[in-house]
Amino acid sequence: MRKFVLLSFIVGLFLPTATFAGSTNAAPTGPKTVNVGQEFNVVFYLYGAKDVDTFRLHGSFTQDMFEYRASKPTGVFQNVSPGTYIDQANGIFSFGAFTLSSHANGNAPAAVMTFRAKKAGTGYIQLTTNSRVLSAGEDQIGTVGRLTIEVTTKAAPPAQPQPLPSEVSPEELAISLRSTTHPDPDAWYATSTVTAVWELAGKAVKKTYVGFDDSPDGPAEKETDQKTATFISKLDGTWYVHLGVDLKDRTHENAHLRVQIDTVPPHPIVPVTDQTLVPASIPNTLRFAALDDTSGIDHYEVWIDGKFVTSTQLQAYPLTHQTVGKHKVLVKAFDRAGNNVSGTTEYEIVSEIVPIAKRASLLWLWLILVCVVVAVLWINHWIASGKKKKTRRIGFKK
């Protein structure tokens, strides 16, 4: 019996602690190598999921190397949870989503984040252990993963569309593809109608094809004899115009143009103040934050009593040098496409209460002083009365 107990104790010591951990692991997946200036997607997977209906992924990334561009839920998760945010300055994020229909099982994609490589080096995108994966309110989280990415100095394709060279050899083909409605591939636009124009020079052209989708490499399948085309994006996000050219020498050339579309304003913003009724001498701060599902928040505008006060990327503003009375605050949140949403709050500056407090303190001091004086007089009177009585008793005895 003793040997059995000892054996059980030893086996218990060496059992792996992961036995008691959750059953669903979460990790980011994506490219191992990217170029400076290149955009890339990171897909967050849930491995070994069992009827997962909600998740909250907390994580961090190398902020001086990677610029956050966009995020969205994927797979069965189609609803973004409140409290989702990306903090580029500190390189942290918290992304949550849930499903009201089918649940995630097995190895399931949960979210997609888009980043742009800013400089060469080795960076990371990782999840932290406070992430949560829930099934009917029960946390299933096991281990969390980390993605290491090497950024090379290899030049990325030109960001801006290039004009045709002044001279083109008949042995070469020059293509200029640009958009008149979305001219800057790095900018976000609030219109879903995209107009593209192109010019060709050099080699003899046989046929031209165009295409429009969310894939960076195409294809271009619709034949056209025009030099312009108009497309409409079905959803917000990053889209691509594709141009394919069949040449008479039986070769084929392609060109691609990225356009970024965000037509939806940020989520509602609710500004608040630390104090709603406060003297001017007491510090007070206005706080606000907004979320945007596609292009991200670009900046905030603060208006007080109908007057513009500041434009800021911070999420707080100190309320100083305010006059006595009620004040109305309007905060506007702008995404990178220029869409905006606003919220209001009010606070009131009251007259200083410090002098009143001082007068109250003095009043109490005077009352205490009067009580002390009265007490001293009463004690003296009591002592004097006692001495007189004693003198009378002594005189009576004699």
Determine the longest span between alpha carbons in the chain, in angstroms. 151
> Mean of the pLDDT values across residues 348-377?
73
Whether CATH 2.30.38.10 fits 21-152:
no
For residue 57, the one-letter residue type is: L
Q: Which helix (H) or strand (E) segment is 111 a member of?
A: strand 104-117
pLDDT in tens, 109-133: 999 998 989 999 999 999 999 999 9
* Residue 365: pLDDT band with limits 50, 70, 90: confident
Residue 373 gets the label, from left (phi > 0), alpha (psi -120 to 50) or beta, of: alpha
Token pair of 331 as six digits? 């905060």
**Residues 191, 183: contact at Cβ < 8 Å?**
no
Kindly report the backbone phi and psi dihedral angles of residue 75, in degrees, each rounded to the nearest multiple of 5, phi listed first: 70, -135
Buried b (16+ CB within 10 A) or exposed e, 309-343: beeeeebebebeebeeeebebbbbbbbbbebbbbb
* Residue 388: pLDDT band with limits 50, 70, 90: low
- DSSP helix/strand/coil, 365: helix
Q: Which fold has domain 272-350?
A: Immunoglobulin-like (2.60.40)
CA atoms within 13 A of residue 320's CA, in its CB half-sphere: 4
* Residue 55: pLDDT band with limits 50, 70, 90: very high
- DSSP helix/strand/coil, 395: helix
> Mean of the pLDDT values across residues 269-290?
92
Residue 381, pLDDT score? 74
Least trusted range by pLDDT, from 272-281, 321-330, 355-364: 355-364
CA atoms within 13 A of residue 323's CA, in its CB half-sphere: 5
76's CB contacts (< 8 A; 6+ apart) are: 99, 101, 102, 103, 104, 108
**Residues 136, 84: contact at Cβ < 8 Å?**
no
Comparing C-alpha atoms, which of 94, 59, 58, 51 is closest to residue 76? 51
Contacts 24+ apart (CB under 8 A), 319-326: 319/273, 319/284, 319/285, 319/286, 319/347, 320/283, 321/280, 322/280, 322/284, 322/349, 323/280, 323/349, 324/280, 324/349, 324/350, 324/351, 325/349
* Domain boundaries along the sequence of the chain: 21-152, 173-261, 272-350
The β-bridge partners of 124 are 148
Rounded CA-CA distance 347/331 in Å is 14
Rounded CA-CA distance 42/30 in Å is 5
Residue 1 has pLDDT above 70, yes or no: no
Comparing C-alpha atoms, which of 121, 122, 124, 145 is closest to residue 133? 145
Measured CA distances, 6 to 10, 11, 199, 217 (Å): 6, 9, 83, 64
Residue 296 has pLDDT above 50, yes or no: yes
Token pair of 157 as six digits? 């394709």
**Residues 86, 70: contact at Cβ < 8 Å?**
no
Residue 353, pLDDT score? 55
Residue 5, pLDDT score? 35
Residue 20 has pLDDT above 50, yes or no: no
pLDDT in tens, 174-203: 999 999 999 999 899 999 999 999 999 999
Residue 190 neighbours by CB distance under 10 Å: 17
* Residue 377: pLDDT band with limits 50, 70, 90: confident
Rounded CA-CA distance 383/181 in Å is 102
Q: Which burial class, exposed, middle or buried, applies to 10 when counting CB atoms under 10 A from its CB (0-12, 13-18, 19+)? A: exposed
Residue 358, pLDDT score? 52
Which class is domain 173-261? mainly beta
Token pair of 96 as six digits? 């949550």
